[in-house]
Chains A and B, each alone.
Chain A
Amino acid sequence: MDITLSKTQEDIIKEARRFLKKECPSEYVQAMFLDDIGFTDELWDKMKRMDWMALRIPEAYGGMGMEQLDMSLLLEEMGRAVVPGPFFSTIILAAEVILAAGTESQKKQYLADIADGQIKATLALHEPEGGIDPTYIRMRAEPDGDDFILSGTKLYVPDAHLVDIIVVPVLTRASNNPADDLSLFIMDNHTSGISVSPLPTMDGTRKLSAITFDRVRLPKDAILGEPNQGYSPLVRALQRAQVGLVAESVGGAQQAMEIATEYAKVRIQYDQPIGSFQAVKHMCAQMYTDAESARSMLYWASWAQDYGDKTEAAMAASAAKSYCTEAFTTVASKGIQVLGGTGFTMDNEMHLYLKRAKANQAALGTPTYHRERVMRLLTEDGAVT
């Protein structure tokens, strides 16, 4: 047992922090928060030069083949900086699904371009009545000769307003049972019949859209892997993406805690730094406790994705998703309280953390959803598929 970071891993953290401090300072994030696109290609190109898009993609497809934990360390730093833009949707959502479900040639085709930073992509998962669980996907692709015709609506799709490629899970047989009938279509975001409408979001650093599919015609080979076999690779990919959100949340919580603590040292009221008052000090101490224990959960969940058995990987992902995203929200809320009137303004960066925290909590399964999943894993055999 060795739950410490290697030298290489410490370097990932150091490099990323240095880079983001320079290239993604809070002034940039604040500007992007209010911007319609919410992202600039300059930052993407610089991240590309850092090889971040290639980090977890296997070497066979032009990446560096690093572990989930390495990715988590990078995402922790990105969470600290509240990095806006399509890194998460491209690398953590779309690339993971392609990796889990694609055929050899599909992986070669898409992953090399993703690793190179050539294309941006996303996953269109949610539906109006669905929630996070892929069991409730009802959108359908009707066979038409050698093609399929897709009609329906997908919601809350991250970065759909700017990506090149989208992955869309839909039913391909006339049942309502995604476990047996789900297929994962991959397509150009500009395919005829697709229309993207950006949605106003609480977290301006993570833009979401609604996508409507109006008789979108796609060939059979637009399906990642085999038809009707999409459910279990999708679930596997989502589990890793959940761990990705956990990592972001841990980094965000850590930074929010540090900002509040530093403020408590210098803000003078009643002739003393407010951090000398126990009411404030204890809030900071609890923020530290939440952030630091969340990091222990993150390490476990990240490690379990690569080395744990199926049950442990599922358990750790859900436990961490629930624990760490709640911790982030709690920490950021206390952060606003410690900063007082200053923390309640848009000028201060703390709002970025609160909004990202709540978004991370809502995305890919709420804490309530994941606690129920934990309970099933604890009490039912065969709860993991």
Chain B
Amino acid sequence: MDFTLTPQEEAFRQEFKKWLKEALPQDWDPYNQPTFSDPEKIRDAYRTFQKKLYEAGYAGMSYDKAYGGQGRSLMESVIMSQELGRTCISLFFPGIITHGMALPLIYFCGTEAQKKKFIPKILDGSHLWCQGFSEPDAGSDVSNVSTQAIRDGDDYIVNGQKVWTSLAHVANYCLLVVRTDPESRKHKGLSYLLVDMSLEGIQPRPMTQITGEAEFNEVFFDDVRVPVDSLIGEEGQGWQMAITTLMFERAMGDVVIGAAYETNVTKLIRMAAEAKNCGHPVIEDPIYRQQIAQSYIEIMALKYHGLRNFSSHIKTGIPGPEGSIGKLLWSEPNQRLTEAAIDMQGPAGQVSGGPWSIQNGNWQHAFLRSKGNTIEAGTSEIQRNIIGERVLGLPKDASRV
């Protein structure tokens, strides 16, 4: 067992850190990153940054050179993700669906033509992707998807509605789960389409989240003609592919998020040193000290668990069962951390910006945003079902057998 990097890997980390420092704006502060309230700004910031990564030879690290990737090791990809998570998660995060789901899905399941068409545009930052899984009646029960894609000549005609679709109104493409066999039920008959968001009949309608931002959408599909070559994999394979895709998102996501949360603990410590309560810096209060330390410890558990998971993934080629718990290890601790941060601010905890706010109201935003963590990408309850049934082998409940 070895927790250290090889000299070459360490050299790569240093090289990338140096590049990153120069690539980011001069006054970039990892502890005070912008929260973009305007989705177009989010997209543009992501694109500009991804283009820089691409031009410097850091896009698609572990992917094949034939499709514009770098052909480097998975470990180098992890190192890069850690640095991005630590330093500029706000620029990286909007691309999480694009790079964590669309890219691996197309790379591993797409046709040659799909790979050639989509991968280079993902890597150079031209295309931002969104993910159309959830529907009003298919939230946790994704298998209940009812959006239909009916074959008509060289097209599918898509009708239906998706919901809670992040960045749909500024995305170029959508990974869309549809029902290609209208007679089918549950998992069978689901297929995956790669849909151009500019097609006629697609109408995203932004929804305001509890943070006040409009990051996600309802998306209406009204007789949308989607060319048949947009199908990825076979008809009816959508469910299996969706599960595979989610596993990829998970593995890299845990590493990035672990690194970003390490930065958050440092930020929290700085805040606790600045904020005062009863004339003393909050950081002197033994109860808050316990909370800060606990947050740090939980993030170390996420970090080393994530690395251990990745390590066995690299060695065996498949993510082990330990991967299934990563989501619980970041979502719930992040809620605890942001709640503690608001408490530490005392009465200022009510203020979400402006001159008398603490750290620009970043924590108020983080606190509210964290409530989505236990819902997005599979609720905590769904995660525990998966662990209980697929890892521990417990029986399904009667209603789902």
**Chains A and B are bound partners:** yes
Do the beta carbons of A69 and B1 come within 8 Å of each other?
Answer: yes
Whether A51 sits at the interface, judged by CB under 8 Å, is no
Do the beta carbons of B3 and A307 come within 8 Å of each other?
Answer: yes
Give the distance to chain A from B2, nearest Cβ to Cβ, in Å: 5
Chain B positions 233 through 273: 1 when the CB is less than 8 Å from some CB of chain A, otherwise 0: 00000000000000000000000000000000100010000
Q: How far is the CA of A303 from the CA of B322 in the complex (A)?
A: 19
Whether A282 sits at the interface, judged by CB under 8 Å, is yes
A323: chain B residues at CB < 8 Å are 297-298, 300-301
Q: Which of B1-54 contact A (CB under 8 A)?
A: 1-5, 9
Do the beta carbons of A374 and B389 come within 8 Å of each other?
Answer: no
A303: chain B residues at CB < 8 Å are 1-3
Whether A322 sits at the interface, judged by CB under 8 Å, is yes
Whether A299 sits at the interface, judged by CB under 8 Å, is yes
B307: chain A residues at CB < 8 Å are 1, 3
Q: How far is the CA of A279 from the CA of B161 in the complex (A)?
A: 32
Q: How far is the CA of A273 from the CA of B394 in the complex (A)?
A: 9
Q: How far is the CA of A304 from the CA of B384 in the complex (A)?
A: 31
Instruction: Specify which of A261, A277, A304, A372 is in contact with B289 (CB 8 Å cutoff).
Output: A372
Instruction: Specify which of A1, A307, A308 is in contact with B5 (CB 8 Å cutoff).
Output: A1
Whether B283 sits at the interface, judged by CB under 8 Å, is yes
Instruction: Specify which of B283, B312, B325 is in contact with A4 (CB 8 Å cutoff).
Output: B312
Whether A53 sits at the interface, judged by CB under 8 Å, is no
B302: chain A residues at CB < 8 Å are 293
Do the beta carbons of B387 and A374 come within 8 Å of each other?
Answer: no
Whether B388 sits at the interface, judged by CB under 8 Å, is yes
Do the beta carbons of A281 and B305 come within 8 Å of each other?
Answer: no
Whether A224 sits at the interface, judged by CB under 8 Å, is no
Give the distance to chain A from B380, nearest Cβ to Cβ, in Å: 9
Do the beta carbons of B311 and A3 come within 8 Å of each other?
Answer: yes
B9: chain A residues at CB < 8 Å are 1
Whether A6 sits at the interface, judged by CB under 8 Å, is yes
List the A residue with the shortest CB-CB distance to B289: A375
Whether B278 sits at the interface, judged by CB under 8 Å, is no
Whether B113 sits at the interface, judged by CB under 8 Å, is no
A374: chain B residues at CB < 8 Å are 293, 296-297
Do the beta carbons of A281 and B389 come within 8 Å of each other?
Answer: yes
Do the beta carbons of B293 and A285 come within 8 Å of each other?
Answer: no
Q: A264-B394, A275-B394, A323-B297 are in contact. Are A3 and B5 (CB under 8 A)?
A: no
A142: chain B residues at CB < 8 Å are none
Instruction: Specify which of B283, B289, B300, B395 is in contact with A273 (CB 8 Å cutoff).
Output: B395
Do the beta carbons of B297 and A285 come within 8 Å of each other?
Answer: no
Give the distance to chain B from A307, nearest Cβ to Cβ, in Å: 7
Q: How far is the CA of A314 from the CA of B44 in the complex (A)?
A: 44
Q: A289-B329, A371-B289, A379-B269 are in contact. Are A276 and B395 (CB under 8 A)?
A: yes
A277: chain B residues at CB < 8 Å are 397
Q: A4-B315, A379-B283 are in contact. Are A372 and B290 (CB under 8 A)?
A: yes
Q: Which of A262-298 contact B (CB under 8 A)?
A: 264-265, 272-273, 275-278, 281-282, 284-286, 288-289, 292-294, 296-297
B290: chain A residues at CB < 8 Å are 368, 371-372, 375
Whether A66 sits at the interface, judged by CB under 8 Å, is no
A261: chain B residues at CB < 8 Å are 392-394
Q: Which of A2-31 contact B (CB under 8 A)?
A: 2-6, 9
Whether A186 sits at the interface, judged by CB under 8 Å, is no
Give the distance to chain A from B255, nearest Cβ to Cβ, in Å: 12
Do the beta carbons of A296 and B311 come within 8 Å of each other?
Answer: no
Do the beta carbons of B397 and A378 come within 8 Å of each other?
Answer: no
Whether A75 sits at the interface, judged by CB under 8 Å, is no
Chain A positions 300 through 343: 1 when the CB is less than 8 Å from some CB of chain B, otherwise 0: 10011001100000001001001100000000000000000000
Do the beta carbons of B1 and A378 come within 8 Å of each other?
Answer: no
A307: chain B residues at CB < 8 Å are 2-4
Whether B200 sits at the interface, judged by CB under 8 Å, is no
Q: A276-B397, A281-B385, A372-B290 are in contact. Are A300 and B300 (CB under 8 A)?
A: yes
Give the distance to chain A from B45, nearest Cβ to Cβ, in Å: 31
Q: How far is the CA of A69 from the CA of B3 in the complex (A)?
A: 12
Whether B381 sits at the interface, judged by CB under 8 Å, is yes
Do the beta carbons of A281 and B1 come within 8 Å of each other?
Answer: no
Do the beta carbons of B304 and A281 come within 8 Å of each other?
Answer: no
Instruction: Specify which of B75, B296, B329, B394 is in contact with A281 (CB 8 Å cutoff).
Output: B394
Do the beta carbons of B311 and A372 come within 8 Å of each other?
Answer: no
Do the beta carbons of B269 and A378 come within 8 Å of each other?
Answer: yes
Q: A296-B304, A299-B304, A374-B296 are in contact. Are A4 and B311 (CB under 8 A)?
A: yes
Do the beta carbons of B300 and A378 come within 8 Å of each other?
Answer: no
B308: chain A residues at CB < 8 Å are 3-4, 296, 299
Instruction: Specify which of A1, A265, A319 is in contact with B4 (CB 8 Å cutoff).
Output: A1
Whether B318 sits at the interface, judged by CB under 8 Å, is no
Instruction: Specify which of A276, A286, A292, A296 is in contact with B396 (CB 8 Å cutoff).
Output: A276
A322: chain B residues at CB < 8 Å are 293-294, 297
Do the beta carbons of B289 and A285 come within 8 Å of each other?
Answer: no
Give the distance to chain A from B253, nearest Cβ to Cβ, in Å: 16
A286: chain B residues at CB < 8 Å are 328, 384
Q: How far is the CA of A277 from the CA of B381 in the complex (A)?
A: 12
Whether B56 sits at the interface, judged by CB under 8 Å, is no
Chain A positions 234 through 272: 1 when the CB is less than 8 Å from some CB of chain B, otherwise 0: 000000000000000000000000000100110000001
Whether B66 sits at the interface, judged by CB under 8 Å, is no
Give the distance to chain A from B349, nearest Cβ to Cβ, in Å: 21
Give the distance to chain A from B42, nearest Cβ to Cβ, in Å: 32
B383: chain A residues at CB < 8 Å are 285
Q: A296-B322, A375-B293 are in contact. Are A288 and B387 (CB under 8 A)?
A: yes
B292: chain A residues at CB < 8 Å are 375, 378
B321: chain A residues at CB < 8 Å are 292
Do the beta carbons of A2 and B395 come within 8 Å of each other?
Answer: no
A2: chain B residues at CB < 8 Å are 1-2, 311, 315
Q: How far is the CA of A299 from the CA of B2 in the complex (A)?
A: 10
Chain B positions 357 through 401: 1 when the CB is less than 8 Å from some CB of chain A, otherwise 0: 000000000000000000000000101110111011111111000
Q: A1-B311, A4-B311, A292-B322 are in contact. Are A297 and B392 (CB under 8 A)?
A: no
A378: chain B residues at CB < 8 Å are 265, 269, 292-293, 296
Q: How far is the CA of A345 from the CA of B387 in the complex (A)?
A: 28
B354: chain A residues at CB < 8 Å are none
Whether B286 sits at the interface, judged by CB under 8 Å, is yes
Give the distance to chain A from B394, nearest Cβ to Cβ, in Å: 4
Instruction: Specify which of B5, B304, B315, B389 is in contact with A300 (CB 8 Å cutoff).
Output: B304
A371: chain B residues at CB < 8 Å are 289-290, 293-294, 297
Give the distance to chain A from B185, nearest Cβ to Cβ, in Å: 22
Additional pairs, 4, CB under 8 Å, beyond known A304-B3, A316-B300: A1-B75, A4-B1, A288-B392, A371-B290
7 contacts between A and B (CB under 8 A): A1-B5, A4-B1, A278-B384, A285-B385, A303-B2, A372-B293, A375-B289
Pairs A-B, 10 closest by C-beta atoms: A281-B388, A371-B293, A285-B384, A275-B394, A285-B387, A296-B305, A3-B311, A3-B308, A282-B384, A374-B293
